[in-house]
A and B are shown apart, each in its own frame.
Chain A
C-alpha cells in the first residue's frame, strides 16, 4: 500500500526526472516501502525538482517537452492563486467591507486590483488554455483515447466530489456554530479542508497530465506561453491588490481585520494574510515557470 502511495507521488515529479530516475525509485520503494516521512520526502523532492531543476536529467528533455511542462506549471500556479482569490472574495463579501471601501480609497483600489487581475487572468486562460483543452477533447474523441478522456474528466469530477462533500458538511454542521466546541468544528472542517486541498491539487495537476497525453503542437504551446506571460501580470496585480488591501484593512479598520474570519480562523486579517502569502508564493513560482516556457520556446524555434 505504501509502495503504491509512493508510486502515485512519483507522478508529481517532472516528466524528465521520471524518465531518468522513475524506474529506480519504484524499484527502491518495492524493496523498502516508504514510511510517512518517506512519502513526505517524495512530496518535498518533487517540489524541489520543479523549482530547482538539475542539469543532467533536464537536459534529456526536448524544448517542446520543457515548454509543455513550463506552461503546465504556470497554469498550476494560477490554480493555487485562485484559492487565495476565492478566500479573499468570501472574506470580504459582507456589506461592512463595501462600506469600509467607500470610506478608505486604498481598500477600494486593492479590491479593484484583485478583480482586474482575476479578469485579466481569466482572459489569458481563455486565450491560451481553451485551445489546449479543445485540442485534447478533439484528440480524445477522434482517437477514442479512454485514458485521455478519463484525465479530462478528473478536474470536473474533483469539483463535483468537493461540492458533494460541502453539502454533507453543511448538513452535518450544527445550527449555531458559535456554541460548538473547537474539536467538534475541527472534526467537520478538517475533512472539508483536506477535500478542498485534494480538489485543488487535482484541478492543478490534471491539465499537466492531459497535456502530456494529448501532446499539443508547438503552435498551440506558443500561444499558451504568451498567455502564461499575461497570467503572470494578472497574478502580480492580484498579489499587489491583496497586499494593499490587507495592509490598509489592518491600519484603517482594525475591528474588521480582527473579527472572526471563519469557524476556526482567529481573524479576517490572518485569513487575508495567509491568502496573500499563497498568492505571493504562487506568483513567484509562476514567474519562474513562464520565463522557462519563453526560454524553451526560443530553443524550440532555434532547433
Chain B
C-alpha cells in the first residue's frame, strides 16, 4: 500500500502543487521510492480521471498538478487505514516478543 503510486502522488501533492519532476523528487525524499515516468504518468492520468487531482496551466513544458478536495479526503482515508494497520501490526509484534 505504501508503494501505491496513487497514494505517493497524492501525499506529495498534499504538500502543495508540483509538476512531474518535483513529484518524483519529493516522493523519493519522503519514501526512498523512485517513481518511473510510466508509473508516475499512469497514476497522474488515473487520479485526474477520478478528479482526485487537477492539472493547472502549464509553465513552459511542465504542467503542475494540485490535489482536489475529493483527493484530500481519499488520501486521508487511505492514510488512516495505513495508520490503523501500522498500530495493530506493531502492537501484535510487541505482544509476540514480550
Contact = CB atoms under 8 A, between A and B. Distances in A.
* Co-assembled chains A and B: yes
Interface in B20-54: 20-21, 24, 36-42, 44-46, 48-49
B37 A38 contact: yes
- Chain A interface size, as a band, is 20 to 34
B63 interface: yes
A54 B38 contact: no
Interface in A1-28: 6, 17, 20-21, 23-28
Contacts of A43: 38
Contacts of B44: 21
Given A24-B20, A24-B61, A24-B62, A29 B37 contact: yes
Given A28-B40, A41-B36, A41-B37, A54 B45 contact: yes
Nearest to B40: A28
A44 B38 contact: yes
A183 interface: no
Chain B interface size range: 20 to 34
B61 A23 contact: yes
Name the residue among A6, A20, A41, A43 with the largest chain B CB count within 10 angstroms.
Answer: A41
Nearest to B63: A24
A26 B58 CA distance: 14
Contacts of B40: 28
A170 B36 CA distance: 40
B36 A34 contact: yes
A46 interface: yes
B49 A55 contact: yes
A37 B35 CA distance: 10
Contacts of A38: 36-38
A92 B49 CA distance: 48
Contact of B20 (A27, A34, A48, A57): A27
Which 7 interchain pairs have the tightest Cβ spacing?
A45-B38, A41-B38, A41-B36, A27-B61, A38-B36, A28-B20, A42-B38
25 contacts: A17-B45, A21-B44, A24-B58, A24-B63, A25-B20, A25-B41, A27-B20, A27-B21, A27-B60, A27-B62, A28-B24, A28-B37, A34-B36, A34-B37, A35-B36, A38-B36, A38-B37, A40-B36, A40-B38, A41-B39, A42-B36, A43-B38, A54-B45, A56-B48, A56-B49
